[in-house]
Amino acid sequence: MYAALFPGQGSQRVGMGRALYEASAAAKEVLDRAEAALPGLLKLMWEGPEEALTLTENQQPALLAAGYAAYRAFLEAGGNPPALAAGHSLGEWTAHVAAGTLELEDALRLVRLRGRYMQEAVPVGEGAMAAVLKLPLEEIQKVLEGLEGVEIANLNAPEQTVISGRRQAVEEAAERLKERRARVVFLPVSAPFHSSLMAPARERLAQDLAQVPLKRPRFPVYSNVTARPEEDPERIRTLLLEQITAPVRWVEILRDMEARGVKRFLEFGSGEVLKGLVSRTLKEAQALSVQDPDSLKKALEVERA
């Protein structure tokens, strides 16, 4: 029994998915379909330049394609479907593709629009995000009380929280947090994601998402908004929109999975960010990544042991 995890923005890298494309017929099929839906995507994923791949409207479909390709390669090689699944922010869309809630082509087009709308919601330079380390959530919440324009965006690990909002407000919050001996790292992002400033993006995406059919997922997929598995298609549609402005409740998701008996986690796609968050949140859990033929082989060996 394992849970499938799918990464979000920040996990991309030039070359992502290429090794699996060359080694797995299932991954090749997924990535060829992605290229047909969004021509030029594979060249961007494999050759860059990195600056173009990092653009939100490119990064989101690239990560979705790479994550789903890795998952399909795992199944093709004999792996079993997960008991539960979750994705971090953008990764929640990938989880729903893996679960059959959304068709790949629909999801790719929607997340490209999602990225574009999110970027256009706030002019570049006006927003900011910062990771707050070595300080519990309760302390951070006390510091943010009374500060307008800054919100909690990601609850990534017990002592790793991300704040988001207007740049000036985030900078002021950072100074106050440092006084509490927190370590604050500003993130290289182009917009204040998971804050109320993203409301225009949510409203625009609602019109596009309303035109796409959703099916009941083949296995439960957690919502970043509720930190609980959701299975009703119309409920999922609503939550995918709310997710744009709501915080990512990742710590709660992992702990709920553990409470349901999950002890093994497989991260599908590019990078090992979620693997690291599992190890920092759940002391008894085992986490592996699946992003190339070697890591795929190791994951299968562990799954069959």
Q: What is the mean pLDDT of the chain?
A: 95
- Active-site residue among 89, 195, 223, 289? 89
Same domain, yes or no: 43 and 103: yes
| The predicted structure's pLDDT at residue 249 | 97
| The predicted structure's pLDDT at residue 188 | 82
| The predicted structure's pLDDT at residue 124 | 82
Domain with 145 in it: what CATH number? 3.30.70.250
| The predicted structure's pLDDT at residue 29 | 98
**Structural domain of residue 69, as residue ranges?**
2-121+196-303
Same domain, yes or no: 209 and 108: yes
Query: Of 187, 207, 231, which residue is a domain's last?
Result: 187
- Active-site residue among 194, 195, 223, 295? 194
The side-by-side arrangement of strands in the sheet containing 84-87 is 229-230, 221-222, 84-87, 2-6, 264-268, 286-290
The total number of structural domains in the chain stands at: 2
> For this structure, is 194 an active site residue?
yes
Q: For 193-212, what is each residue's pLDDT tens digit? A: 999 999 999 999 999 999 99
Residue indicated by tokens 């370590």: 183
pLDDT over threshold 80, residue 305: no
| The predicted structure's pLDDT at residue 197 | 96
CB atoms within 10 A of CB 268: 31
pLDDT over threshold 80, residue 182: yes
What's the whole-number mean pLDDT along residues 6-18? 94
Q: For 212-246, what is each residue's pLDDT tens digit? A: 999 999 999 999 999 999 999 999 999 999 999 99
Q: Which helix (H) or strand (E) holds 271?
A: none
Quote the CA–CA distance of 55 and 48 in Å, as a whole number. Answer: 11
pTM: 0.95
Helix residue ranges, H only, 217-265: 233-242, 250-259
What's the whole-number mean pLDDT along residues 271-277? 94
Q: Assign residue 141 a region: left if phi > 0, alpha if psi is -120 to 50, beta otherwise?
A: alpha
Quote the CA–CA distance of 150 and 24 in Å, as a whole number. Answer: 44
Same domain, yes or no: 85 and 10: yes
What's the whole-number mean pLDDT along residues 178-193? 91
Q: For 77-128, what is each residue's pLDDT tens digit? A: 999 999 999 999 999 999 999 999 999 999 999 999 999 999 999 988 899 9
Quote the CA–CA distance of 57 and 221 in Å, as a whole number. Answer: 24
Same domain, yes or no: 81 and 215: yes
Q: Which helix (H) or strand (E) holds 182?
A: none
